[in-house]
């Protein structure tokens, strides 16, 4: 077991998470596109209690959409930090984009590929693909 550190764009929020992740997924759903400004989100699944906020807890906001699970972001700079219902959920999706070091393990799967945008091309990375959510 080791840990990775993460932060938001303004640097106000810093956290650490124990790894390895249970799995790593890219989600191409329309909600993830809205919050990401791109093709979607890429996340490592971690137990919620494996995440520790080191700084800026007062900046952290969680938005619960009508459909799907809550998304967590920095209220100062808008950086996307977690999905999956943190902090109440048992499991949290930690956005790889928030990690401070490059994350080099391959993706396990692509989720919601039915929601691919016309300008979005899936890499030929061998990861499993699901029309909606994964198994
Ligand atoms: Zn921030
Ligand atoms: Zn999604």
Per residue in 58-107, pLDDT (tens digit) is: 999 999 998 889 999 999 999 999 999 999 999 999 999 999 998 989 99
- Give the Å distance between the CA of 8 and the centre of ligand 1: 4
- Give the Å distance between the CA of 50 and the centre of ligand 1: 21
- Give the Å distance between the CA of 42 and the centre of ligand 2: 9
Q: Which residues contact 122 (CB under 8 A, 6 or more apart)?
A: 110, 113, 116, 129
- Give the Å distance between the CA of 76 and the centre of ligand 1: 5
Per residue in 20-63, pLDDT (tens digit) is: 999 999 999 999 999 999 999 999 999 999 999 999 999 999 99
- Give the Å distance between the CA of 87 and the centre of ligand 1: 18
Rounded-to-integer distance, Cα 93 and Cα 44, Å: 6
- Give the Å distance between the CA of 80 and the centre of ligand 2: 12
Per residue in 11-28, pLDDT (tens digit) is: 999 999 999 999 999 999
Ligand nearest to the CA of 39: 2
Contact call for residues 92 and 85 (beta carbons, < 8 A): yes
């Amino acid at each position: 077991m080791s840990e990775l550190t993460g932060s938001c764009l303004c640097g106000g929020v810093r956290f650490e998470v124990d790894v390895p992740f249970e799995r790593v997924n890219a989600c191409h759903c329309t909600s993830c596109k809205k919050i990401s400004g791109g093709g979607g989100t890429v996340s490592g699944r971690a137990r919620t209690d494996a995440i520790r906020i080191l700084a800026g807890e007062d900046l952290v906001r969680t938005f619960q959409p009508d459909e799907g699970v809550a998304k967590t972001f920095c209220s100062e700079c808008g950086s996307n930090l977690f999905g999956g219902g943190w902090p109440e959920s048992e499991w949290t999706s930690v956005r790889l984009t928030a990690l401070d070091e490059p994350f080099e393990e391959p993706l396990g799967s692509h989720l919601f590929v039915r929601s691919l945008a016309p300008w979005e091309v899936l890499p030929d990375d061998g990861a499993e693909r699901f029309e909606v959510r994964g198994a």
